[in-house]
Amino acid sequence: MFHTLRFETIPNEPRLTHVTMEAIAQAQPNIALVKYWGKREVDRNIPAVPSLSITLDSLWTRTKVAFDPKLRADDVSVNGRRDASQSSRVTALLDTCRRRAGVGLHAHVDSKTNFPIGAGLASSASGFAALAAATVGALAIEIDAVELSALARRASGSAARSVFGGFVEMPDALNGNVTAQPLLSATDWPLRVIIALTSEQPKPTGSSDGMRHSAETSDYYAAWVDSAGRDFMTARDAIMERNFATLAEVSEHSCLKMHAVMMSSNPPLVYWNGATIDCIHTIRRLRNDGIPAFFTVDAGPQVKAVCLPECADMVHAALQKVNGVRQLYTSNLGPGVRIMESMQ
């Protein structure tokens, strides 16, 4: 049985309605400008800090969820290979949805990406956003986009933001029910992102483990949490005013503070390689020369340059010359998660 899932758009809030046992969803990675690093509550996966991101359009994850009475356990594959590494998080999300729908069946989960996974390119953000939407679609659970974002957040904090397109905020919530919400659409301020891939190796320490380690051992962790709200508000205002210079400063600052926390953990978490640092200097030099571009780096060695579209060729050319840059991806800002007719 196959039915498609429909998004009914009410202002700024796609609503998911449908009936099915199988669905496909696509989501794109998002890049945090004000970073999430640290959890207030591990069990419910509540971030310790607010964060703010941009959703990409040219990298994607497509995930098909198909419930099957013949299965005795969930069967998860990523890019054509059985994948046990994320299976407890996948099953936890499926369990939440199964309980809500009153369904006891296991599911085939088949996911594919058009970019390397687990290397600091936000594959868990797009992966868990797509998984949440496809599961909800397959089980015909009536849910709005904000609730879908909370569901994705429990699996992976950054996935909550990939539910929405364009500029997305995930503020603190006093009741602990943290969800992302759209701030500005992709077309309202069409920035361009150039991603310099400096290694295809999976990162040595995943984000969840890294965050726990930083909270337990970094002397800078408390200061990081204390200052995050201020950075969040500065970035939010800069986006609303389309103030590129301020957004550039606060984004680089948030990124470097997060890496200072990582590096001051004990033993230290050093996600960068030599090319990462060379890319950072290249982008800083461009900005000193008046080119509107800034960098950000997540829990991995890849560097993301954010710039105005008219400067994208120049930024691309400069990063291409950096030794150790293996590949460049260029992306506009894109939409949030959506249901697809096929995996193709």
The footprint of ligand DP6 (CB under 6 A) covers: 32, 35-37, 45, 51, 124, 156-158, 207-208, 298-299
User: Are 341 and 137 in contact, with CB atoms under 8 Å apart?
Assistant: no
Nearer to ligand DP6, 125 or 134 (CB): 125
Residue 155 CB, nearest approach to ligand DP6 (Å)? 7
Residue 281 CB, nearest approach to ligand DP6 (Å)? 21
In our burial notation (b when 16+ CB lie closer than 10 A, e otherwise), range 227-262 reads ebeebbebbbebbeeeebeebbbbbbebbbbbbebb
Residue 261 CB, nearest approach to ligand DP6 (Å)? 11
User: Are 16 and 134 in contact, with CB atoms under 8 Å apart?
Assistant: no
Of the candidates 306, 299, 304, which has an alpha carbon nearest to the alpha carbon of residue 272?
299
User: Are 329 and 302 in contact, with CB atoms under 8 Å apart?
Assistant: no
DSSP conformation letters of 256-287: HHHHHHHHTSSS------HHHHHHHHHHHHHH
Nearer to ligand DP6, 121 or 322 (CB): 121
Nearer to ligand DP6, 20 or 55 (CB): 55
Nearer to ligand DP6, 178 or 194 (CB): 178
Residue 154 CB, nearest approach to ligand DP6 (Å)? 9
Of the candidates 46, 56, 259, 232, which has an alpha carbon nearest to the alpha carbon of residue 156?
46
Nearer to ligand DP6, 20 or 234 (CB): 234
Nearer to ligand DP6, 26 or 251 (CB): 251
Question: What beta strand segments (E) does 175-302 contain?
Answer: 181-184, 192-197, 293-297
Nearer to ligand DP6, 135 or 158 (CB): 158
In our burial notation (b when 16+ CB lie closer than 10 A, e otherwise), range 9-35 reads eeeeebebebebbbbbbbbbbbbbbbb
Which structure tokens are listed for 230?
Answer: 């201020």
User: Are 210 and 258 in contact, with CB atoms under 8 Å apart?
Assistant: no
To the nearest 10°, the Cα dihedral for 164, 167, 172, 173? -40
Of the candidates 315, 223, 204, which has an alpha carbon nearest to the alpha carbon of residue 269?
204
Residue 156 CB, nearest approach to ligand DP6 (Å)? 3
CB atoms near residue 200 (< 10 Å): 12
Residue 286 CB, nearest approach to ligand DP6 (Å)? 23
Nearer to ligand DP6, 74 or 231 (CB): 231
Residue 168 CB, nearest approach to ligand DP6 (Å)? 11
Residue 9 CB, nearest approach to ligand DP6 (Å)? 27
